[in-house]
Amino acid sequence: MSKPKMTLQAPSLLIKGPYQGITGYDHYVREFTKGLVNQGANVQLFDFPEWSSQKHPDYQHAYWSGLVNHSVNAKSIIHFVMPAQVEIAKDKLNLNFTMFEADRIPSTWLEHNLQHDLVILPTLSSKESWITSGYPEERIRLCPLGINHELFQGETNALLLKDDEGRSVSDYAVRILNISDLTPRKNLISMLRVWIKSTDKNDGAILILKINYPWQRWIYKFFLDIKWMEKTLGKSRKQAAPILFLINQKFSDSQMRMLYAASTHYWSMSFGEGWDLCMMEAGAAGLHLIAPSHSAYPTYLNSNIADMMTAQPVPAKFFWAHGLHKLYANANWWKPDESVAGDYIWTIVKEGRKNKYNAAKKHIIDNFNWDKASCKLIDIINEVEG
């Protein structure tokens, strides 16, 4: 695939954001930075170390040290952080690239963003959240994220995984993957409830949950919530098709590609997404996708290339996760329909359905890659710099 040709001159630019960790934010800061450099931008990178406690296996690469130590005289700085985390550079144009997963943003975000020159968002759903909250539309620009299309070219070996009984995961005909940080928004208890209700222990299927969490008490609460859900449901995990938990395991980019290759489907029950890079990468890897039809997902998915679940607005209320609930005060997010999800999972597991395997691959690779995203971002920078 040839690189898109830029319509305007590549700028000098300062970038501040997390790039050393394993979160989605870290990932897209790395990819945007590489994409901008590949398009000719003169970039100096500043870390936001408070973001990530767990470091990515590739973060110490000399490439990143070179960008950190590279001094650049630039008009603009892009802050890849939440609005309240922006430290305004008074002699620069301050652009905040951010996103949100509910129907309105926190009031503190609005107050901070009004002090910035521009807000850059990846989706219409985020744009609607900012406008609903009172932010002026003329100070918003859209720039979608992407995937590393080169990583998904050709074949790759599947990651070798074994279930809790020592059986090779590749022995299962259906291998459904989800990758999540352990937060209430990811709605993992709902996913497990649907899985337990829809499958039996003798089904030739396995659910692979790759979970990252920052504090031990979060994973402790998660498994207590599972036990309570099983008791309420009247059916336990042992009576359902197996679930493989990959907890706080750090994978390089190439290992992530192998994890996708080890799977046949990718499934989300999230209440809301600013983007969901893992869903997009799974599509680029050719997996059959199952996603809610809300927030970011309709930006790059539709019912022709994925199984889309209906979802209804519900108050975004929860009371744990280290104060995260304060961000969602007076906001709604969207609850995926568990009965629709159950129907999808039942037919996939019982009938081996994967008719949308490879369906999203070409659409995602052609329309959502980091070269295109970086060119769009350069256009925005040149516009604001005049």
pLDDT tens readout for residues 241-256: 999 999 989 888 889 9
Distance in angstroms (rounded) separating the CA atoms of residues 373 and 383: 15
Find the mean pLDDT for residues 101-120.
97
Find the mean pLDDT for residues 299-323.
91
All residues at 6 or more sequence positions from 109 whose CB lies less than 8 Å from its CB, including other chains: 82, 83, 84, 98, 100, 133
Task: Determine the pLDDT at residue 105.
Answer: 97
Task: Determine the pLDDT at residue 7.
Answer: 46
Task: Determine the pLDDT at residue 6.
Answer: 45
Q: What percent of the chain has pLDDT over 70?
A: 96
Q: Determine the 3-state secondary structure of 372 from DSSP.
A: helix
Output the CATH code of domain 12-146+369-385: 3.40.50.2000
Task: Assign domain 151-366 one CATH number from 3.40.1710.10, 3.40.50.150, 3.40.50.2000, 3.40.50.2300.
Answer: 3.40.50.2000
Least confident of 38-52, 132-146, 175-189: 38-52
Task: Determine the pLDDT at residue 65.
Answer: 82
What size, in residues, is the chain? 386
Distance in angstroms (rounded) separating the CA atoms of residues 317 and 322: 14
Find the mean pLDDT for residues 121-144.
98
Instruction: Tell me whether domains 12-146+369-385 and 151-366 share a fold.
Output: yes
Task: Determine the pLDDT at residue 5.
Answer: 47
Task: Determine the pLDDT at residue 189.
Answer: 97
Binned at pLDDT 50, 70 and 90, residue 122 comes out as very high
Look at the block and give the residue holding tokens 């830029």: 6
358 Rama sector, left if φ>0, alpha if ψ -120 to 50, beta otherwise: left
Answer whether residue 2 shows pLDDT above 50. Answer: no
**Residue-wise pLDDT tens digits, 67-107:** 888 889 999 999 999 999 999 999 999 999 999 999 999 99
Q: What is the mean pLDDT of the chain?
A: 92
Least confident of 22-31, 220-229, 305-314: 22-31
Buried b (16+ CB within 10 A) or exposed e, 124-159: ebbbebbeebebeeeebbebbbbbbbebbeeeeebb
Task: Determine the pLDDT at residue 1.
Answer: 44
Residue extents of the structural domains in the chain = 12-146+369-385, 151-366
Task: Determine the pLDDT at residue 59.
Answer: 62
Task: Determine the pLDDT at residue 281.
Answer: 94
Find the mean pLDDT for residues 5-14.
71
Pairing of strands 174-181, 265-267: parallel
Task: Determine the pLDDT at residue 8.
Answer: 52
Answer whether residue 62 shows pLDDT above 90. Answer: no
**Residue-wise pLDDT tens digits, 253-269:** 889 999 999 999 999 99
Q: Are 132 and 104 a contacting pair, CB within 8 Å?
A: yes
Answer whether residue 117 shows pLDDT above 90. Answer: yes
Task: Determine the pLDDT at residue 357.
Answer: 85
Task: Determine the pLDDT at residue 354.
Answer: 77
If one compares 323 and 156, the residue with the highest pLDDT of the two is 156
Find the mean pLDDT for residues 293-299.
98
